[in-house]
Amino acid sequence: MTQLTPSEIQTGVAGAAAFALAATLPLFDQGYYLSLALNMVMYAALCTAWTLFSGPTHYVSLATAAFFGLGTYSVGIGLDHLPFGVLVLIGGAVAAVMAGLVGAATLRISGVYFVIFTFGLAELVRQVVSYTQVKVSNSMGLYVFTDFTEKHIYWMLLALTAVIFFTGWIINRSRLGFAMQIIGNDETVAKHSGIDTAKLKIILFMISGAFIGMAGAILAPRYAYIEPPAAFNPMISFLVVIMALLGGTRRLWGPLVGVIPFTLLMDFVSVRFPNDTSIVIGIAFLVIVYLLPDGITGRLEQLWTQLKGPRAPAGPVAVEERA
């Protein structure tokens, strides 16, 4: 672990101040704006957790809905028997185990095959849960009644997001983070360097899945009644990918740049044009792929580099002046 640089200290102080400011929102509004902010914090947590794995490895995972739904159902099943905080940890553990099993089976493949498999996984888990629930309880959902209001869920999700950021910062400064950067740049080189690529990818996939599962568990009381189509909604997976890619995955905070504007856009479209949300998502994906392949933050970094311009080396200039 290297010593903190001044820029890292400034970033940490600014981040802490931003989280503290965001935590005061429920004190001023507990209506529309709190609900909108809750959606933003939800996707901030999910996108940041997704970026922990997909950012350095460049693997596009569509398993977010599976991990999210497992966390949600962990609370729905155990709420009458265990404290809520314990169930949140259990939801994260269940999602991590699922991520480990999936990672062991699929992380040796990449590209479109991994994308298809993770999408199929979410659908498979949803169908299995639906079938099991109908056979066991003859119902399609679970009631989740708690004393938590939206402000409590908001604060819990905000705290989880802070933990995800801190975890990502620790990973980026560790040997694991350095190894994952090598794997993301060239996995073949990483293997020849003696890095156990499969093991490290599974570990990071489990960490990412655990946080997504915990987010799903925290959000369970918001739904009150949980059904497989809502808990394992594939739209969650697609929105997480689009928001993260829109913001950019080069930086851990990059997805936040995509979460805020896209959440506002989706809120506007869902109210004014409720039947056209799929069209908006499709257009947004095409725009990101063709115009912003590195996201907004990546594009801003490119523009900043161009504005700074290339610096001429000092040696040749001094020689010319003496001549």
How many independent structural domains does the chain possess?
A: 1
Q: Report whether 259 contacts 242 (CB < 8 A).
A: no
In a domain, 277, yes or no: yes
Give domain status of residue 97, yes or no: yes
**Partner residues linked to 142 by β-bridges:** 226
Contact status, residue 245 vs residue 288, Cβ threshold 8 Å: yes
Judge whether 199 lies within some domain: yes
- Cβ atoms of 28 and 36 closer than 8 Å: no
Buried b (16+ CB within 10 A) or exposed e, 162-173: bebbebbbebbe
CATH number of the domain to which 139 belongs: 1.10.3470
Q: Which of 40, 59, 72 is nearest to 102 (CA)?
A: 59
Look at residue 242 and tell me if it is in a domain: yes
Domain that holds residue 302: 20-322
User: What DSSP line would sit under 63-129, residue for residue?
Assistant: -HHHHHHHHHHHHHHHTTTS-HHHHHHHHHHHHHHHHHHHHHHHTT--THHHHHHHHHHHHHHHHHH
DSSP, res 174 = S
Q: Tell me the residue type at 60.
A: V
Does residue 13 lie in a domain region?
Answer: no
Q: What is the pLDDT of residue 193?
A: 78
Q: Is residue 56 part of a domain?
A: yes
Q: Can you state the percent helix, strand and coil of the chain, rounding each to 5?
A: 80, 0, 20
Span 132-150, pLDDT tens digits? 888 877 777 888 888 899 9
Tokens of 308: 């700074």
Is 289 a domain residue? yes
At 313 the pLDDT is 54
Q: How far is CA 156 from the centre of its chain?
A: 16
pLDDT at 2: 59
CA distances from 166 to 11, 83, 93, 271, 294 (A): 12, 25, 19, 35, 23
Q: How far, in Å, CA of 322 to CA of 201, rounded?
A: 55
- The encoded tokens of residue 114 equal 């991994």
The Cα–Cα gap between 320 and 104 comes to 60
pTM of the predicted structure, to 2 decimals: 0.88
Would 125 be classed as within a structural domain?
yes
* Predicted local distance difference test score (pLDDT) of residue 58: 84
Nearest to 239 by CA among 22, 45, 19: 45
171-229: per-residue pLDDT in tens? 888 888 888 888 777 777 877 778 888 888 899 999 999 999 999 999 999 988 888 88
Low-confidence ranges of the chain (pLDDT < 50): 314, 317-323
